[in-house]
Amino acid sequence: MKKQKQDNPFNLLPEEIIFIILDLLNRNSLAIKSFSLVCKSFYAVESKHRCSLKPLRQERFPALLSRYPNITHLDLTLCSRVSDASLSLVSHSCASSLRSIDFSRTRLFSTYGLLGLALNCKNIVEIDLSNATELKDSAMAAVAEAKNLEKLSLARCKSITDMGVGCVAVGCRKLRFICLKWCFGVGDLGIGLLAVKCKHLCFLNLSYLPITNKCLSSISKLQHLEELVLEGCFGIEDDSLAVLKHGCNSLKSLDVSTCQNISHNGLPSLINGALGLRQLTLAHGSPVTSSLADCLRKHSMLQSVKLDGCLVTDDGLKTIGNWCASLRELSLSKCSGVTDEGLSSVVTKHRDLRKLDITCCRKITDASIASITNSCKSLTSLRVESCTLVTREAFVLIGQRCHLLEELDLTDNEVDDKGLNYISRCSELSSLKLGICLNITDEGLIHIGKGCSKLVELDLYRSEEITDSAILAIAQGCPGLEMINIAYCKYITDRSLLSLSKCPQLKMLESRGCSLITSLGLKAVAVGCKELTKLDIKKCHNIDDAGMLPLARFSQNLRQINLSHSSVTDIGLLSLASISCLQNMTILHLKGLTPAGLAAVLLACGGLTKVKLQATFRWLLPLRLVQYLESRGCMFQWKDKVLQEKLDPKSWKLQLEDLMA
């Protein structure tokens, strides 16, 4: 043993080198874990090295915090509840090292915990308090004690008002980033004061705030403001946007989507001052006509424009084509009025486009695809979901001409095997969505499996012709696969799951309605895919308790599971309690589920935060139990949906089209 230790080359390495090695290992949590379990010295080195921590429950804080003394980033998103006592423990253990803390999905802590944190952790620069709907202004006063704070997210903190924001503005003078989305209680006064006091602000998200033009003039005086998000600010109107005419030279990104009261009359004053603008989002706003597009003609820095959901005219698109900027990113998702002519005039001018989104542009035909692929050869992302007039021949062009594609969304299109054969030439492809593509078969997917080895995400939802051999080809060809959706592919059997079990990175598996797969297949996945975090086996009638046991044993990273309509009973569910990070469970229409068993399951799974249950159980479970579970941080959703008849994909699609017509 002793001799071994001397031979250990790691003893010769200085700590810094080992740290670098650990940095490289960092992407794989399992690797780090096994490293620290090798020996005591490795354990010590790893403890010393680790700077970010994502604990599961607050009960483990004492042990974790004494093991890792150098934590700078603490992510509490997995702890649904963190008490003030735990928080005080954190603030004392990580007193000077802690720089960032994330509470975005955490509850229970209060003003006092935050105050202790702010006062003890002097070096803290980042706090995320999103979704802390119960926090009041007093909590903001506590946050304001963190004098070095640079980044603060308060999204959905509905109970805070101008007073709280005022405290933060006065206390945290170094603030550079603040998100106040959905803080409905905050108005002009708070924002105005923030802009007056925090001169270094460079990111400001004011989405859905009841602010008016009054605070815009002080915002425009911010010298370093780079990104301004005003999504859904209905109080901002054309009339006094003129105050911004000469301000905001530093602005690089502006989002005024869903601002219904800003039209093409007001936009110029909003935009003209910011000549350095790189990113502009006008989604769900006023119609994009040539007069609107014209006011951006001279913005040579512009790189990304998002017009999602706007009415876009041909003239507007032509004017965009004449901009002096060369766009990298253009989103026309769900834009009505996009025609072949308009789209062609844009893409022929902006040949450097990297990302193009034409989701649901239902008027475009093969001509558009031809001109897109002809002009924009360096596209990395193309989304053409539901462009129903595009024929199967057009998809060949995509594969022929755009070899750099990394993301391709062909959901609900006519693409066929020949098209897929050409698309398989895109060797960089990492995300491919082929949901509701009824023309594709195994043949096409085998090509994809051979050509696209970097595939990470594959969506085959309701592509009903797919069978096991396609999945085998994918699993063999794409070892890095992380997400796959084979829902309602009715020919899929356990053999597919067996193939998928060879993908060690698999994190998300959805196989709804694959009635042929059984517990055996699931077992293989559980054993092979240790990273599995999300599993949806709704309507897999042949999966029973036998499938749950291996899951419980091997899939220790499972967080979310949907078992509705399966044959799992109390016993299988109860075994899942050993998965400590299981948080989200949907268990509707389980025939073998009894109230007593359910009660035991709910009590045993201590980490649950969200459970979907049939409404009938609401009255069958003891009220005290429900109250206790709720106090433990578990939310219940009671569903009262009647069982729907199963539909085959074609009739499902027909029904969908009927609905749309």
Partner 1 sequence: MDLKDKVPQHPSFTQHQQKWEDPSILDYSTRIGSPFLAFNQSHTSMLSDNRIKAPVQDGVVNQLVQASKVQDWDPSAMLDNLSFLEQKIHQLQDLVHLIIGRKGQVLGRPDELVVQQQQLVTADLTSIIVQLISTAGSLLPSGKHTLPAATPSLEQSGQFGGVVFPSAQGPLNDGFQPQNAGGSKVSGLPNSVDISRKNGNEQNHIIEEHELKDEEDVEEGESLIPGTYEILQLEKEEILAPHTHFCTICGKGFKRDANLRMHMRGHGDEYKTPGALAKPNKESGSEPTIIKRYSCPYTGCKRNKDHKKFQPLKTILCVKNHYKRTHCDKSYICSRCNTKKFSVIADLKTHEKHCGKDKWLCSCGTTFSRKDKLFGHIALFQGHTPAIPLEEAKAPAGPSDQGDGNQSTNKVGSMNFNFSSNVSSESEVQSSTDIKGSIDDPAGYFSPLSFDTCNFGGFHEFPRPPFDDSESSLAFLLSGSCNYPQKSED
Q: Which stretch, 135-143, 289-297, 522-530, 650-658, contacts partner 1 (CB under 8 A)?
A: 135-143
Work out whether strand 304-306 and strand 279-281 pair parallel, antiparallel, or are unpaired.
Answer: parallel
Sign of CA dihedral 387, 389, 395, 398: negative
3-state secondary structure of 226: coil
Based on CB atoms, which residue is closest to partner 1, 195 or 526? Answer: 195
Cα–Cα distance for residue pair 242/257, rounded to 1 Å: 19
Q: Based on the number of CB atoms within 10 Å of its own CB, is 14 exposed (0-12), middle (13-18) or buried (19 or more)?
A: exposed
CB of 226 to partner 1, least distance (A): 23
* Residue 610 binds partner 1, judged by CB under 8 A: no
Among 23, 630, 648, 657, binds partner 1 (CB under 8 A): 630
Q: Which residues in 428-499 belong to E strands, given as ranges? A: 431-433, 457-459, 483-485
Question: What stretch of H or E contains 177?
Answer: strand 177-179
CB of 204 to partner 1, least distance (A): 17
Cα–Cα distance for residue pair 585/575, rounded to 1 Å: 13
Based on CB atoms, which residue is closest to partner 1, 109 or 177? Answer: 109
* Residue 80 binds partner 1, judged by CB under 8 A: no
* Residue 58 binds partner 1, judged by CB under 8 A: yes
* Residue 197 binds partner 1, judged by CB under 8 A: yes
* Residue 138 binds partner 1, judged by CB under 8 A: yes
* Residue 43 binds partner 1, judged by CB under 8 A: no
Q: How many CB atoms lie within 10 A of CB 389?
A: 15
CB of 83 to partner 1, least distance (A): 5
Q: Residues in contact with partner 1, total (CB under 8 A)?
A: 46
* Residue 83 binds partner 1, judged by CB under 8 A: yes
Cα–Cα distance for residue pair 123/137, rounded to 1 Å: 23
Q: Which stretch, 105-113, 417-425, 445-453, 477-485, contacts partner 1 (CB under 8 A)?
A: 105-113
Based on CB atoms, which residue is closest to partner 1, 162 or 465? Answer: 162
Q: Which amino acid is at 543?
A: I
* Residue 148 binds partner 1, judged by CB under 8 A: no
Work out whether strand 534-536 and strand 610-614 pair parallel, antiparallel, or are unpaired.
Answer: unpaired
* Residue 609 binds partner 1, judged by CB under 8 A: no
Q: What binding mask, one character per residue, do residues 154-193 give for partner 1 by CB under 8 A, x or -?
A: --------xxx-xx--xx-----------------xx-xx
Q: How far is CA 594 from CA 319, 502, 562, 563, in A?
A: 64, 36, 18, 15
Cα–Cα distance for residue pair 532/481, rounded to 1 Å: 11
Write out the two tokens for 448.
């994809």
Among 141, 179, 293, 602, binds partner 1 (CB under 8 A): 141
CB of 298 to partner 1, least distance (A): 29
Q: Residues near 208 by Cβ (< 8 Å), separated by ≥ 6? A: 181, 182, 184, 231, 232, 233
Q: Which stretch, 27-35, 343-351, 391-399, 629-637, contacts partner 1 (CB under 8 A)?
A: 629-637
Based on CB atoms, which residue is closest to partner 1, 109 or 461? Answer: 109
Burial per residue of 168-190, b for 16 or more beta-carbon CB atoms within 10 angstroms, e otherwise: bbebbeebbbbbbbbbebbbbbb
Based on CB atoms, which residue is closest to partner 1, 120 or 499? Answer: 120
* Residue 652 binds partner 1, judged by CB under 8 A: no
Based on CB atoms, which residue is closest to partner 1, 39 or 170? Answer: 170
Q: Which residues in 470-583 belong to E strands, given as ranges? A: 483-485, 508-510, 534-536, 560-562
* Residue 259 binds partner 1, judged by CB under 8 A: no
* Residue 92 binds partner 1, judged by CB under 8 A: yes
* Residue 32 binds partner 1, judged by CB under 8 A: no
The site for partner 1 (CB under 8 A) is made up of 58-59, 62, 81, 83-86, 88-89, 92, 107-113, 115-116, 119, 134, 136-138, 140-141, 144-145, 162-164, 166-167, 170-171, 189-190, 192-193, 196-197, 628, 630-632
